[in-house]
Amino acid sequence: MEGEQTYWSENLRLIFICLAIWFVVSFGLGLLLVEPLNEIRLGGYKLGFWFAQQGSIYTFVGLIFWYSSKMNKLDKKYHVEES
Amino acid sequence: MDELKLYTYIAVFGSFAVYFAIAWWARAGTTSEFYVAGGGITPLQNGMAIGADWMSAASFISMAGMIAFLGYGGSVFLMGWTGGYVLLAMLLAPYMRKHGKFTVPEFIFDRYYSKTARVVAVVCLIIASLTYIIGQMKGVGVAFSRFLEVEYDNGLYIGMFVVWVYAVLGGMKGITYTQIAQYCVLIFAYTIPAVFISLQLTGNPIPQLGLGSTLADGSGVYLLDKLDMVVTDLGFKEYTTDNMGGSVNMFAYTLSLMIGTAGLPHVIMRFFTVPSVKAARQSAGYALVFIALLYTVAPAVGAMARLNLMNTIEPSAGQNMVYAERPQWFKDWEKTGLLKYEDKNGDGKVQYTADKATNEMVKVDRDIMVLANPAIANLPNWVIALVAAGGLAAALSTAAGLLLAISSSISHDLMKGILTPDMSEKNELLSSRIVMTISIIIAGYLGLNPPGFAAGTVALAFGLAASSIFPALMMGIFAKKMSGTAAVWGMCSGIGVTMLYVFQHKGFMFIPGTSFLGDMGPNWFFGISPNAFGVVGACVNFGVAFIMLKVTGPAPAHIQEMVENFRTPHGGVTVAHDH
C-alpha cells in the first residue's frame, strides 16, 4: 500500500510536468505569445504560426511516448506492472 | 465512360470490396468480440484504428478548407483535435482500460454507483454521437453525388449498406480491422495530392517543409509571404496572423475542442480493445502519430489550395480570369451550387475581393477545397479518384465507430444494465445488432433530411462531451472521495450551463427565431463563441461537484478502494455495488 501511494504521487508529478509542457507549447507559444514569436522566422514560417500549426502537434506526440516510457519504468520500479 | 469516372469506380468499389472481405474474415461471435474485439488488438493496430475512427469527413474534407479561409485562426482545430490525445493518454485511457469493461456509461455506473449517472451518460453519448453521424452521412452523399454522378439519395443508400454489412456483422472486431484498411486508404488519398502540389509550388516533396519554403518560380519569395501579400492586396486579413475574433475566443475554443476530444465516447471506447494498461498508454501515442500525419499536412493543403485558387482567378495583378475561359473544375463545382459567380461590373472577368460590393465570387463553399484541390492543380485523374475513395473511407470509418458506441450503450447500458439484467449473452449480441441496424436507418434518414440545425449541433456535441463526460471521468479517477450524488450534480449543471448558452445564441432546440440573445459577437460572454463554451461548462461541472461533495460527504470506503485499484496496472478490479 505504502509503495502504491508513492507510485501514485510520482505519476501525478509526471502528469503535471507533461501537462505544463502541453500548455506552454500550444496555449503559450502558439496563442498567447504568438505576436512576439512571429518576429522570429523559421524558414518561411513565422515562429508563432509554426508552433500553432506544426510544432505543438509534434510536441504532443513526443510527450505521450515520453510519458508512456516513463510510466513503464515506474511500473517496474514499484512492481505494479501487469503479470 | 470517361477516364476519371472509370478510375473513380475502380478506387471506390475496389476499396469497398476490401472492407467486405475483412468484415467476413473478422466476424464477431461473442459480446466481448462485438463490443471490444475480445480485448486482443495490438497498440499499433489500435492506434491506426483510432486514427480512422477519429478522422471523419470533417477532418478529411472540411478542415483544410477551413484553414484555407481562416489562416492562423484555423490553428484551433489543429491544436484542439490533437491536444486532446495528451489528456486522454495521461488522464483517462490507462485507468479506464484497467477498469476493463465495455462502455463509458458502465464505467460511470461502477464508479458512481448510480443509475441516474449511467442514464445521464447514455443520453449525452447518444446526442453527441448522432450529431456526428449526420455529418458523416452527408459527407458520404456529397462524395458519391459529386464523383460518381449518382443521385445524393442513392449515394447515401450505398453508404448505409456498406456500413451495415461490416459493422453489424463484425462489431468492434470487424470495425477495427476495416478501420485499419480505411486509415491506409485515407492517408494515401490525403498526402499524395499534397505531395504533388507541394512539389509543383515549392519543389519540396514534403508538404510540412514545402509550406515553409520559397516558391519554385524563381522569385525566391517564401510561399506564406506570397500568400499574405496576395490576400491582403484583395482586402482579406493577413493569412498568418488572422486570429478569428480575438485570442480569448481562440484560447477557449482550443481548450474546448481538446477537452471535448478527450471526452468523446467513441474514442475512449477504443482503449477498451487493447490487452493491457501499458498497451492503452502506447496506443494513444500511436494514434496521435497516425493522426498527426494528416494534421500536419492539412495546413499545407489549406494554404496551397488558397494560393492556387487566388492564382487561378488572378494569374498576375490586374489580369483577372475571363469567365468564359474558366477551367473545367470551376464548371463542375458551379453545377453543385457550392461555387457561384456573379458578374457585378459586367466586364466578363472574375474579381474576387473581400469587399462585398465588388466581390464576384459570391459563394465559395469551404468544403469543396480539399475535393477540388487536385483538379485546381491539374493533377492526373487517378489522384482525383483516390481522393474520392479517401473521403468515403474517412466518413464510413467514423460512422461505424459512432454506431457501435450508440448500439453498445443502448443494448449494454440501457437494456442489459437497467431494463432486463438477466438477458443472455446470445440475446444481448442479437439485440445490439438490431439496435445498430435501427441506428443506421435513423442516421440515414437524418442524412437524407438533414435538420436545419445540423451545423449548430456540432457545438453541442463537443460541449456535451467537454462539460459532462470528461469532468465526470477525470474526477472518477483523480478525486477518489468524489461521491455519486456530487458527480451527478456536476454533470447536470455542466450540461445545463452549456446548453443554455448554446440555445440562447443559436435558438432553443436550434429553432430559428427563438434565440433570445442572438448569435452576435457583442452578446458573447467574454467574447466566447457558443462553439467554444464547452470549457466554461467543464469548469462549472468541476466547481459544482466539489461544492456538493462538501455538502453530501465522501464516497463509501469500498468505492474509494476500487478507485485506488484503478490507479495501478497490476491486479484485478472488483466492482462492488450496494444493491
User: What does B494-551 look like in DSSP terms, one character per residue?
Assistant: HHHHHHHHHHHHH-GGG-TT--SS-S-GGGSGGG--GGGTHHHHHHHHHHHHHHHHHH
Compute the average pLDDT of residues B204-208: 94
Which residue matches cell numbers 449494454?
A: B412
Q: Is A44 on the interface with B (CB under 8 A)?
A: yes
What is the number of domains present in chain A? Answer: 1
Alpha-carbon distance of B268 to A10, in angstroms, equals 25
Q: What is the pLDDT at residue B174? A: 84
Q: Which residues of A touch B302 (CB under 8 A)?
A: none
Q: Which three cell numbers stand for residue A42?
A: 523559421
- CB atoms A8 and B567 under 8 Å: yes
Bridge partners for B340 per DSSP = B363
**Position A45 in a domain:** yes
- CB atoms A68 and B89 under 8 Å: yes
> In this structure, what are the phi and psi dihedrals at residue B214, rounded to the nearest 5 degrees?
-85, 160
Which has more confidence, B166 or B64?
A: B64
B499 vs B253, B344, B505, B556, CA distance in Å? 16, 42, 10, 32
Q: Is B247 on the interface with A (CB under 8 A)?
A: yes
Long-range Cβ pairs for the range B476-479 (8 Å, 24+): B476/B107, B476/B108, B476/B111, B476/B112, B476/B563, B477/B91, B477/B92, B477/B95, B477/B563, B477/B566, B477/B567, B478/B91, B479/B546, B479/B549
Pick A60's closest partner by Cβ from B85, B276, B299. B85
Q: Is A39 on the interface with B (CB under 8 A)?
A: no
Q: Which three cell numbers stand for residue B564?
A: 485506488
Cβ atoms of A71 and B98 within 8 Å: the answer is: no
Q: Is B214 helix (H, G, I), strand (E, B) or coil?
A: strand
CATH architecture classification, B38-305+380-566: Up-down Bundle (1.20)
**Position A83 in a domain:** no
Q: What is the pLDDT at residue B210? A: 93
User: B298-331 as b/e, with b when 16 or more CB fall inside 10 Å?
Assistant: bbbbbbbbbbbbbebbbeeeeebbeeeeeeebbe
Q: Which segments of B203-296 does DSSP mark as H helices, in order? A: 207-210, 223-233, 247-263, 265-268, 277-295
Compute the average pLDDT of residues B230-254: 86
Q: Is B224 on the interface with A (CB under 8 A)?
A: yes
Q: What is the pLDDT at residue B574? A: 59
pLDDT at B300 over 90: yes
Q: Which amino acid, one-letter code, is at A65?
A: F
B299 membership: H or E segment, kind and range = helix B298-313
Indicate the pLDDT class of residue B196, thresholds 50, 70 and 90: very high
Q: What is the pLDDT at residue B579? A: 43
Which pLDDT tens digit goes with each residue over B466-476?
998 999 999 99
Q: What is the pLDDT at residue B191? A: 94
Pick B214's closest partner by Cβ from A11, A35, A44. A44
pLDDT at B77 over 80: yes
**Position A56 in a domain:** yes
| Chain A residue with the nearest C-alpha to that of B296 | A54
Which range of B260-274, B362-376, B501-515 scores highest in mean pLDDT? It is B260-274
Q: Which residues neighbour B512 within 8 Å (Cβ) at sequence distance 6 or greater?
A: B452
B471 vs A64, B61, B125, CA distance in Å? 21, 30, 14
Residues 292-351 of B with CB under 8 A from A: 292, 295-296, 299
pLDDT at B38 over 90: no
Listed range (A20-24, B181-185, B419-423, B452-456) with the worst mean pLDDT: B452-456
Cβ atoms of B54 and B269 within 8 Å: the answer is: no
Q: Is B428 helix (H, G, I), strand (E, B) or coil?
A: helix
Q: What is the pLDDT at residue B370? A: 85
Residues of chain A with pLDDT under 50: none
Q: Which residues of B touch A67 (CB under 8 A)?
A: 89-90, 281
To the nearest 10°, report the CA torsion of B329, B335, B339, B341: 100
Beta-carbon contacts below 8 Å between A and B: 141
Residue-number span of the structural domain to which A42 is assigned? 2-77
| Chain B residue with the nearest C-alpha to that of A26 | B79
- CB atoms A53 and B75 under 8 Å: yes
pLDDT at B578 over 50: no
Cβ atoms of B257 and B51 within 8 Å: the answer is: no
Which has more confidence, B107 or B459?
A: B107
A45 membership: H or E segment, kind and range = strand A45-46
Number of residues that this document lists for chain A: 83
pLDDT at B518 over 80: no
- CB atoms B285 and A68 under 8 Å: yes
Instruction: Express as a percent the part of chain B with pLDDT over 90.
Output: 33
> In this structure, what are the phi and psi dihedrals at residue B340, rounded to the nearest 5 degrees?
-135, 140
Q: Where are the domains of chain B?
A: 38-305+380-566
Alpha-carbon gap: A39 to the closest alpha carbon of chain B (Å): 12
**Position A19 in a domain:** yes
Q: Is B134 left (phi over 0), alpha (psi -120 to 50) or beta?
A: alpha
Q: Which residues neighbour B54 within 8 Å (Cβ) at sequence distance 6 or greater?
A: B81, B261, B267, B287, B291, B398
Closest alpha carbon to B86 in A49, A79, A56, A47: A56
Cβ atoms of B263 and B466 within 8 Å: the answer is: yes
Which residue matches cell numbers 449515394?
A: B155
B563 membership: H or E segment, kind and range = helix B557-566
Alpha-carbon distance of B491 to B540, in angstroms, equals 9
Which has more confidence, B439 or B135?
A: B439
Q: Which residues of B touch A78 (CB under 8 A)?
A: 568
Q: At what angle do helices B381-408 and B115-147 cross, to 10 degrees?
A: 160
A41 membership: H or E segment, kind and range = strand A41-42
Q: Which amino acid, one-letter code, is at B124?
A: C
Which pLDDT tens digit goes with each residue over B536-570?
999 999 999 999 999 999 999 999 999 998 899 88
Closest alpha carbon to B395 in B14, B48, B130, B57: B57
Which range of B84-98, B132-146, B378-392 scores highest in mean pLDDT? It is B84-98
**Position A82 in a domain:** no
Cβ atoms of B569 and A81 within 8 Å: the answer is: yes
pLDDT at B530 over 90: no
Compute the average pLDDT of residues B433-444: 89
User: What ipTM does this complex have?
Assistant: 0.96
Mean of pLDDT over chain B: 85
> In this structure, what are the phi and psi dihedrals at residue B572, rounded to the nearest 5 degrees?
-95, 170
Alpha-carbon distance of B111 to B545, in angstroms, equals 15
Q: What is the pLDDT at residue B451? A: 61
Listed range (B3-7, B16-20, B446-450) with the worst mean pLDDT: B446-450
Alpha-carbon gap: A55 to the closest alpha carbon of chain B (Å): 9
